[in-house]
Structure 1
Amino acid sequence: MTQPPTGPGGPGTFQFDFAAPASPQAPPPRSRRGVRAAQFGGLTLAALSLGGLAVLSSSGDASGVGAGGVPQFTLLVAGRDIVYCAYRTPCADQDQRSGLLQPPNTDTLMLVKVDGSAVNVLNIPRDTNVGPFDPELRWSEQKVNGRYWSGGTPALVQAAETITGESVDAHMIVRTDYVARVIDALGGLDVTVPEGGIEWVDRAAGVDLRLSPGNHHLNGEQAVLYLRVRKGVGDDYGRIDHQKQALTQLASRLTSAQGLAALPTILGGVGNGVETDADPALLTTLLPYLPDLRLRFATLPTTPIPGTSNLAVNPEALAQVWGTDGEADASTPADPTDLADVGVRIRDASGADLGNRLAGALRRLGYERVTAETVPASREASQVVTGPDVAAASQLADALGLPRLQGERFPVAAGEVGILLGADARQSLAALSALPPSPDTLPTPTETP
């Protein structure tokens, strides 16, 4: 790690030699409305319960690509379950819309904004109301997760645009069987099951998932069930956080030999578990950006609509976690006073005592409120975690080269940032091992991270 300069930059300037991601080129502003995704190059990472993360570039319209071919676009990713025509009997035609035991809603819905190597993902809760609540209509008719079934892809895209105020350039609807194939191709999923364990048994759907508390390595079929389950993880928000964890972990494998070997499986889903208007013919345009991939996850802020199970969008909070208010640049010197006001909690699950060393490094940068605790080693991906106040976390995530997750799984207080160091930190943040540990440590707790 480079010592903070004594000149104009002063303490608080981010100069981590071991991780300083930079986009190949700063993209210019673009026109977003009216883009037709005629041709895309892409890499689909189906790594969550009913959906996937797609990183695509558009060449069908100049407004979809910045100068130098930098991909810039917004993609709607939704997931739907396999439909059953009888007890434990999937329909032969997975696109049929009659004679089903249960209609396939899109309980997993994400808006993915790609800007070169920067990928911002907004998870939309299943119960979000589309537009103003209408007391004359049934609650379920107004929820976003039912729009795909009632009106097809056009209705779902329009609903997402109404909710977020964003223009959607392309869509992708994926099935669980495709998700399972991709996870298997990427080597499975490592998860940490919370206290109390997880048990989900649904004989009609052939579901039998029983996981004890602690670390587990799941194959594709198990991972899909784990990422769909709500019981045992709290609610829909707990499930969303698990999906963010999965995407973070699997995205880190994309540039590995295993990730490259998985590309035929990833790209072979169109027409076989993937419904999309994106043409995956230009994958090579994205490859230069993968090593510097910067992931930022947020959940659509909502408020309960009294007397209903529906949720109303909170536009002010949305601008904070999704708009320019939540953007930060690691290359911009941070005010030492601002750093002193930011609390940082480190959970070290690396198994290599990196947390205390990172704490010392952050204190030397100007962070004064830093704590570190060692938790049982985990193969979950390293990450920076934040609540609604995402700007400070974004800067720290960029400086460390880690994804930023805004969610509830790792609770942080206002003005506080969390850092989870997994086993992958031994390689991605290897330079920390050469630093002296911080003398201020916390005892090792017994709970899992």
Structure 2
Amino acid sequence: MTRPSRLGRLRALQAFGLTLSCLSLGGFALLSGAGRTVASSVLPGTAPQFTVLIAGRDIVYCYYQQPCKDQDQRTGLVQPPNTDTVMLVKVDGARVRVLNIPRDTNVGEFDRGESVAAQKVNSQYFSGGPQALKQAVETITGERVDSYVIVRTDYVERVINALGGLDVTVPEGGIEWIDRAAGVNLQLDAGPHHLEGPDAVLFLRVRKGFGDDYGRIDHQKQALTQLAGRLKSAQGLAALPTILGGIGNGVETNADPNTLAALRPFLPGLKLSFATLPTDEIPGTFNLAVNRERLAALWGDAPAPVTDAPGVKVTVVDASGAGLGEGLKTALTALGYADVQVTVAPASQEASQVFTQQDVAQAGALADLLNLPRLQGERFPVAAGEVGVLLTRDAQENLKELAALAGTPLAADPRVADDTALPGPSPEPLPTTAPGSN
């Protein structure tokens, strides 16, 4: 098939910022170095290969709405410092994969003679510190964990504020999370919101309105991709002192700061993907058992095959504010995608992304083609055999060639031209074959 020459400039790279999305709330803090560290296994000049556990822990309270002076104490607490956000980040050459682990995942085989709560992954940090959490994640995933980064919610708040806050979309019905004992009062109407400070952190932690823990994980992924883009802007550079000042002030880690230094030369070519640990319910409990067969297909080192002729339906949600969805439909049709549907949504400041439920290989191919993050989760609104593409305002800069394909020249948008835009290297030409072809 001969393609129009204007397709040649479709691709726009985002890899630099996206690689940092999973690390922005902890990984950059490694560069300042502090305390005992684990020696880096990355050799100079070689492609980095390592894993890092990133977890978010609560602030501990000694009295009603009063944080303890010693945030590392384990006795006399109103509530334990659970880690309800747990991610395993795997860097393997040019690939960076992030596996989110649900808070209720059981560590090892379920033992009905033991405490149900004590067997959950989110309780391991309180009972045994970061080493116990590290070992639990190794048991759950079957992966060796090279190092850990544990961040407190107050550190996350400082980073989000330094990066200019979060632009989010609250689902229908809105959000109301009130817990006076914990000092929580989050009330948001349905629709777009710009959040900073405690509200931004609470939004990342809330489950009500998003279904369950899987829904919370999914909107955390979306928020992280947005923060990644800010790291490349002038605002992101100005935020580095806040990000780097975390160790001993909201961040604990045993990682070698040289690890990320070795990663820097590879950032422009890295590809990022998010996935959620597949699990099954354990009858009679709220605990979840790892589904190892599905995990191997999702997280295995052998890439899943992609068919020569893309057979998936592609649903494009055009929230770009510039009609770019029709341009993407034109491009994908030329590449062999037979079923591409476009729906228009209100313009969004969130991050553009490719999302799927179970068609991971096809979604990955499409994400690579467009240089967008791939998010997999249990609660994305796509069916089997369907892949979604969300185009938001950042596409006006990163995929601006789509405007010509849609026949609608792109007008200047000050909200894209400011410091929150995602500048990147010059676009590369599209491949001359459809994904998976020889």
User: Shared fold by TM > 0.5?
Assistant: yes
Give the whole-Å Cα distance in 2 for the aligned partners of 1:17 and 1:274: 42
Cα RMSD, aligned residues only: 2.8
Change in Cα spacing, 1:436 to 1:423, as seen in structure 2 (3 Å) is closer
Once the 2 structures are TM-superposed, how far is the Cα of residue 55 of structure 1 from its aligned partner?
9.5
* Stretch moving more, 356-365 or 286-295: 286-295
Question: How many residue pairs align between the two structures?
Answer: 399
| 2:314 is the alignment partner of 1:344 | yes
Equivalent residue, structure 2, for 1:68: 45
Equivalent residue, structure 2, for 1:95: 72
| 2:11 is the alignment partner of 1:19 | yes
Equivalent residue, structure 1, for 2:251: 274
CA-to-aligned-CA distance 1:379-437 (integer Å, 9 cap, x gap): 11000001122011001101101000001443111121100001100001011111136
Give the whole-Å Cα distance in 1 for the aligned partners of 2:4 and 2:108: 49
Once the 2 structures are TM-superposed, how far is the Cα of residue 315 of structure 1 from its aligned partner?
0.5
Equivalent residue, structure 2, for 1:45: 24
Equivalent residue, structure 1, for 2:129: 152
Alignment partner of 2:204 out of 227, 231, 236: 227
Give the SS at the match of 2:113: coil
Equivalent residue, structure 1, for 2:87: 110
Alignment partner of 2:279 out of 302, 307, 315: 302
After TM superposition, the structure 1 = structure 2 runs for residues 39-438 of structure 1, keeping only pairs within 5 Å, are 44-46=23-25, 52=26, 64-65=41-42, 68-280=45-257, 284-324=261-301, 326=303, 335-337=307-309, 339=310, 341-436=311-406
Give the SS at the match of 1:201: strand
Give the whole-Å Cα distance in 2 for the aligned partners of 1:163 and 1:282: 24
> Is the contact between residue 55 and residue 114 of structure 1 (CA under 8 Å) also seen in structure 2?
no
Which amino acid in 1 is paired with 2:299?
A: W
Give the SS at the match of 1:120: strand
Once the 2 structures are TM-superposed, how far is the Cα of residue 280 of structure 1 from its aligned partner?
3.2
Once the 2 structures are TM-superposed, how far is the Cα of residue 19 of structure 1 from its aligned partner?
2.3
> Is the contact between residue 39 and residue 255 of structure 2 (CA under 8 Å) also seen in structure 1?
no
> Is the contact between residue 42 and residue 56 of structure 1 (CA under 8 Å) also seen in structure 2?
no
> Is the contact between residue 43 and residue 54 of structure 1 (CA under 8 Å) also seen in structure 2?
no
Give the whole-Å Cα distance in 1 for the aligned partners of 2:280 and 2:21: 35
Once the 2 structures are TM-superposed, how far is the Cα of residue 23 of structure 1 from its aligned partner?
8.7
> Is the contact between residue 321 and residue 389 of structure 1 (CA under 8 Å) also seen in structure 2?
no
Select the structure with the greater relative contact order (CA < 8 A; seq sep ≥ 6). 2
> Is the contact between residue 15 and residue 268 of structure 2 (CA under 8 Å) also seen in structure 1?
no
Task: List gaps (5 residues or longer) in structure 2.
Answer: 409-438
Give the whole-Å Cα distance in 2 for the aligned partners of 1:314 and 1:408: 13
| TM norm structure 1 | 0.83
Task: List gaps (5 residues or longer) in structure 1.
Answer: 6-14, 25-40, 47-51, 329-333, 439-449
Change in Cα spacing, 1:205 to 1:185, as seen in structure 2 (3 Å) is same
Once the 2 structures are TM-superposed, how far is the Cα of residue 105 of structure 1 from its aligned partner?
0.9
Give the whole-Å Cα distance in 1 for the aligned partners of 2:369 and 2:21: 27
CA-to-aligned-CA distance 1:341-400 (integer Å, 9 cap, x gap): 111000000000001110111001000011001011111100000112201100110110
Which amino acid in 2 is paired with 1:241?
A: D
Once the 2 structures are TM-superposed, how far is the Cα of residue 228 of structure 1 from its aligned partner?
0.7
Change in Cα spacing, 1:183 to 1:308, as seen in structure 2 (3 Å) is same
Give the SS at the match of 2:321: coil
Change in Cα spacing, 1:244 to 1:363, as seen in structure 2 (3 Å) is same
Change in Cα spacing, 1:23 to 1:217, as seen in structure 2 (3 Å) is closer
